[in-house]
Amino acid sequence: MTFDGDFIITTIAGEDVSENEISLTIDNKKRSINGTTGCNNYMTDFANKGTILQFSYIASTKRACPHDEIEQLYYDNLSEVTSFLKSGDTITLYRDSEALIEGISKNSLVDNDK
């Protein structure tokens, strides 16, 4: 299973964050992740074997943001991820068997707007 794609994050730790415009872009060839929290940009590198993941340090810009608590919740949970599951247009990032972050493909959102 390939770990790649462009996603909009919908849920973090069970909390609906779909209004926050958090994005996650995964480039499997470069082994990198980048995106925005709706305010700051972030990036990290990863290693994976199958669905097992390991992220390096998450770097980000440091603008003051109106939803700092959601941004911190995202970073805290992203740093805990150990595996993923892609199913159709969705991606779920896990710590062991606990779903931490869920997202939907940007492409599916564009297709649905037609």
Q: How far apart, in whole angstroms, are the C-alpha atoms of residue 103 and residue 89? A: 9
Q: What is the pLDDT of residue 114?
A: 44
Residue 110, in any domain of the structure = no
Q: What is the pLDDT of residue 50?
A: 87
Outline where DSSP puts E strands in 50-97: 52-55, 59-60, 83-87, 90-95
- 44: domain range? 5-105
pLDDT band at 1 (very low <50, low <70, confident <90, very high): low
Residue 69: other Cβ atoms inside 10 A: 9
Answer left, alpha or beta for residue 73, where phi above 0 means left and psi between -120 and 50 means alpha. Answer: alpha
Residue 20, in any domain of the structure = yes
Residue 17, in any domain of the structure = yes
Residue 114, in any domain of the structure = no
Our count of domains for the chain comes to 1
Q: Which residue has the tokens 């964050």?
A: 17
Chain segment 54-92, per-residue pLDDT in tens? 999 999 999 988 878 999 999 999 999 999 999 989 999
Residue 73, in any domain of the structure = yes
Q: What is the pLDDT of residue 95?
A: 96
Domain CATH code at residue 72: 2.40.128.270
